[in-house]
Amino acid sequence: MSIRSTVISLIQQIGMETRKDLPPLTDDFVLLDSGLDSLAIAIVVTRLEDTLGLDPFTESDDTSYPVTLGDFIRFYENAAKFSDVYSAQSG
């Protein structure tokens, strides 16, 4: 499963658990303005850490926080490029 589809399916799962009707998950979807609150994003980040073995937020002391879904996916894709964990899993 690609990082993109993992992220999207986890967001959909959290949307269902928290009974939020989410708009279509396009790249310009603003994470915190479309029905998800920061608690929901926090849960997505935790489950992504469990699924992908990646937490790009805490791997650096100088983080730029992702605003849109596109930013968020790229954030994880970039982290994966530098992560042995992910390459070991996918390779």
Binding site for other proteins (CB under 8 A): 17-18, 30-33, 38-39, 41-43, 45-47, 50, 55, 57-58, 60-67
User: Are 66 and 72 in contact, with CB atoms under 8 Å apart?
Assistant: yes
19 within 8 A of 62, measured Cβ to Cβ? no
Q: Which is nearer to other proteins, 60 or 91 (by Cβ)?
A: 60
| Tokens found for residue 3 | 């990082």
Minimum distance of other proteins from residue 68's CB (angstroms) = 8
11, 32 contact by CB (below 8 A): no
Pick the closer one to other proteins by CB: 23 or 91: 23
